[in-house]
A and B are shown apart, each in its own frame.
Chain A
């Protein structure tokens, strides 16, 4: 069942158009990886869905309802989470405070939600009183996921989870992405490391110049000679 849908979306920054009549759909429980060259508009897709950019044209629908142009504070309450690529934790706050900030839009008791996340990600439990700035790159990424999961979103948008990480750490983070998905959250992910990104994904979209060049099952994209030659570096 489709949970998130973009239909003929144009968007951009200032006068510069980045997305050009882009359409895609995310089903419940799946991981989709967006790949493509720099400047293709991958991160712009996430920002447009999350209300950080307003679509110029077209429609963004979540559970069938239009959300295009809503503010991020509103969208996060609707059930979509977003993990930015950089500076995605509050460095001067503790782990526990970061999680609390992830749950500001909840009315119920945060403690049980926080405890649930500590159970899922024990490394955060060990460091709950530490400032987020003291975490390693991989732990930071995990905290960023956990912060977004405080709202128990149906859809999580993740921008380049492996950016700036050592290869081993990146593998751990991809495993964390899978773990988040297995918890019942659909994931729309942008990833520079197309091979590894597609490896853990169900489906993929190849973006080029703001529009979908190829799409299909992740395995099929990995095996597609055209995609491989043009976008996966041979």
Chain B
């Protein structure tokens, strides 16, 4: 396969990983724990989008071979994921007087609950949105890039959301308060910031983006109850690589890990040419992504963004 095509595919996969990484890192920076339910929050968003798509369906004109109704359904998916996350925060995490390890373990339990509910309603078999698959864009095929209009929609939507988040963080009052609270929560309270509200907004934004990312993952592959959990480790690798707690690091880490993940066939071709290296196939994509994460952390222990918060 041509390198360009792998890079293009990498960019698509990265877009989904980036959307998921942002939320994981945001929640870490403000709620101060590694949320293992984040992957299943993606699944919640994906299935909510599926339900919404069943109702609104092919409403409206078509944008990038997707009905406007699909984008509306994704928004519903993001909103439901945000709502579920805030409710979980208020009912489960907030009342618990435990440290960040306690919260981490609690979030594993929360992940099981989300997944069980999805499985009860939708079964464990993969399902699809039922949007007709697209052929690769003809004009790009001669360049060796086989990418569909749907995949362009994923990359473009993720880019819009990332730019939107950047503008929010840098230029709005809420964004500055989120950065201040992530930087130093006790000083934020001293300054008069109502940090409890900021925590809510963090969950809403982080889970909302994860929910939308889940919807795109469902379009890119299929929907299954384990869909989010299955990529959670890759998302963690991206977040740790970027510097956990840093939103911009998560964006960079997500991009890098996603591309590396999809470049695996090319990497394995190179590796086979070297003596004594076994033929590592694409099945080892996650392993290689983690190896690269470890290698980067050996050089920069606090990740790409180097301890910068948000």
Contacts and interface: CB of A to CB of B under 8 A. Distances in A.
Interface of A: 50, 52, 71-73, 76-77, 82, 84, 87-93, 97, 100-102, 104-105, 147, 151
A101 B189 contact: no
B310 interface: yes
Contacts of A91: 183-184
Contacts of A104: 173, 177, 191-193
22 contacts: A50-B190, A52-B186, A72-B189, A72-B192, A73-B189, A73-B192, A73-B193, A76-B190, A76-B191, A77-B192, A84-B186, A87-B187, A88-B187, A90-B183, A92-B183, A92-B310, A93-B176, A93-B179, A97-B179, A102-B192, A105-B192, A151-B192
Nearest to B175: A97
A82 B190 contact: yes
Given A92-B308, A92-B309, A97-B176, A76 B183 contact: no
Interface residues of B, number: 20
A107 to B, nearest CB: 12
Contacts of A105: 192
A100 B176 contact: yes
Nearest to A97: B176
A147 B192 CA distance: 11
Contacts of A151: 192
Closest A-B pairs by Cβ, 8 of them? A105-B192, A76-B192, A90-B183, A101-B180, A101-B191, A92-B183, A90-B180, A72-B189
Interface centre among B183, B190, B193 (most CB of A within 10 A): B190
A93 B180 CA distance: 7
A90 B190 contact: no
B194 interface: yes
Contact of A102 (B179, B189, B191): B191
A89 B191 CA distance: 10
B97 to A, nearest CB: 13
Nearest to A96: B176
Interface string B184-204: 101111111111000000000
Nearest to B193: A104
A89 B309 CA distance: 14
B187 A90 contact: yes
Nearest to A102: B191
A91 B188 CA distance: 12
A90 B191 CA distance: 10
Given A87-B187, A89-B187, A92-B308, 13 more contacts: A72-B192, A73-B192, A76-B192, A84-B186, A90-B179, A91-B184, A92-B179, A92-B309, A93-B180, A100-B173, A101-B180, A101-B188, A101-B191
Contacts of B191: 76, 101-102, 104, 147
Nearest to B309: A92
A91 B183 CA distance: 7
A129 to B, nearest CB: 13
A101 B309 contact: no
Contacts of B184: 87, 90-91
B198 to A, nearest CB: 10
Contacts of B194: 73
A72 B173 CA distance: 20
A91 B309 CA distance: 9
Interface centre among B192, B194, B310 (most CB of A within 10 A): B192
Contacts of B186: 52, 84, 87
A88 to B, nearest CB: 6
A93 B192 CA distance: 16
